[in-house]
Amino acid sequence: MQDVMLITSSSDLAAVCARLAKHPFVTVDTEFLRETTFWPKLCVIQLASTDEAVAVDALAPGMDLAPFFDLMVDPNVVKVFHAARQDIEIVWHLSKRIPTPLFDSQVAAMVLGYGDSISYDQLVQRTNGTQLDKTSRFTDWSKRPLSEAQIVYAIADVTHLRDIYVKLTGELEKRGRTEWVAEEMRVLSSPDTYRQEPERAWERFRNRVRKPKELAVLMEVAAWREREAQARDVPRSRVLKDDNLFDISLTGPKSAEALGAMRSTPKGWERSRDGLAVVEAVQRGLAHDPRTLPAIEKHRPQSQAQSATVELLKVLLKMVSEKHHVAAKVVATSDDLDRIAENDEAEVGALKGWRREMFGEKALALKHGKLALAIEKGRVVAVDRIPAVIIAEEKAP
């Protein structure tokens, strides 16, 4: 096995990626900063095969990351990440390509019952008993030169991941759950998951507005904020805080004076370039034809029966998850349970594919009295209800 290396030139990166492309899988991780930017600033890339492990200085002068991006879409090499979403977002932003084929060890661990959203260091501890050194976790990865401790820490994230990948794929195959993970990877592999379209920025707040006028203003102001944050490469809150955005959507100030009269508006901000741009966005929103707006999801308070159903579904979910050794979070979310309680045909993951077979069918049966929950030897169990018994209960005074 070669010694671990820090790659600082494009030619060395190309050579490493050529070697890595000969392997059936590579493990991948990144170190980045985004506290003061909209887009994550890629600082270090870690890569490992069964033969070698390297750290790539993404900020090295003249560094061309094209060989890395080519490797990420090589169809013959599985790219193994842990909690892949942010890493993939970086690759997508810089290259407009999605790593594929893809394997996320956090998702696989959830499918295998290691726990909800298990962290990397916890998974390393669970799989091989190693305690990771976390001292370099919160260092500034943009400062140069990188210290030896930083490089060792960074590379450890992909060397342990090799063993984790082999162990988890073996368990998935043995338990017949390989396709379960593949189903989740299709979501992570979709460009739609990572597109930051200003016109859709309002969707993060869609449940906070109740009137068409509020929605129209929210759509325009949120889109303006998103465009500004992306163009300036600053966090959204640096342009306009969420609370201010929401207040403006509810109030709909048509003039700088009206904007300045709002309690959440800093003194004089209404006359700034941003303040005037917000007023223009509000005016565009108010000019929308309400008939062209997306439908507003009206929140209806749960009935007592629905609330009781949700509580029973939570118990059922816990029982099913423990029985099959799979994280409850990956089977059904709290929103799934709420929507199942309200609608048998709800468009939720828990009523599709393997989730429906494992949990969804039982959830519907429980909801309609065809399944009961009972305590047996200190554990919750599901019991089929006999139709004749149900009829007798309905006739009872």
Q: For residue range 177-205, what is the model confidence (pLDDT) as tens digits?
A: 999 999 999 999 999 999 999 999 999 88
Q: Of 375, 363, 387, 351, whose CA–CA distance to 309 is shortest? A: 363
pTM above 0.75, yes or no: yes
Q: Within this chain, do residues 55 and 169 fall inside the same structural domain, yes or no?
A: yes
pLDDT value of residue 394: 45
Does the residue 258 lie in any domain? yes
Q: Of 20, 98, 111, 13, whose CA–CA distance to 55 is shortest? A: 13
Q: Scanning the structure block, which residue is given the tokens 């393997």? A: 354
Q: Within this chain, do residues 27 and 108 fall inside the same structural domain, yes or no?
A: yes
Q: Within this chain, do residues 19 and 115 fall inside the same structural domain, yes or no?
A: yes
Q: Is 268 strand, coil or helix?
A: coil
Distance CA 36, CA 241 (A): 14
Q: How many domains does the chain have?
A: 3
Does the residue 112 lie in any domain? yes
Q: Within this chain, do residues 312 and 359 fall inside the same structural domain, yes or no?
A: yes
Q: Within this chain, do residues 88 and 151 fall inside the same structural domain, yes or no?
A: yes
Domain end residue (candidates: 272, 292, 312): 292
Q: Within this chain, do residues 82 and 205 fall inside the same structural domain, yes or no?
A: no
Q: Scanning the structure block, which residue is given the tokens 């990420």? A: 72
Domain encompassing residue 261: 198-292
Does the residue 221 lie in any domain? yes
Beta bridge partners of 31: 44
Distance CA 71, CA 344 (A): 44
| Percentage, residues of the chain above pLDDT 90 | 82
If one counts every other C-beta atom within 10 angstroms of the C-beta of residue 273, the result is 8
Q: Within this chain, do residues 143 and 286 fall inside the same structural domain, yes or no?
A: no
Q: Where are the alpha helices (DSSP H) in the chain?
A: 10-20, 66-72, 85-95, 105-111, 120-128, 148-174, 178-188, 212-232, 236-239, 242-251, 256-260, 273-286, 304-324, 328-331, 334-342, 353-355, 361-367, 387-395
Q: Within this chain, do residues 233 and 186 fall inside the same structural domain, yes or no?
A: no
Q: Within this chain, do residues 246 and 333 fall inside the same structural domain, yes or no?
A: no
Q: Is 225 strand, coil or helix?
A: helix
Q: Within this chain, do residues 173 and 220 fall inside the same structural domain, yes or no?
A: no
Distances (CA, A) of 158 to 43, 54, 151, 178, 220: 16, 9, 12, 22, 43
Q: Within this chain, do residues 338 and 360 fall inside the same structural domain, yes or no?
A: yes
Predicted confidence (pLDDT) per residue in 381-397, tens digit: 888 875 544 444 444 44
pLDDT value of residue 379: 85
Predicted confidence (pLDDT) per residue in 3-20, tens digit: 458 999 999 999 999 999
Q: Within this chain, do residues 249 and 284 fall inside the same structural domain, yes or no?
A: yes
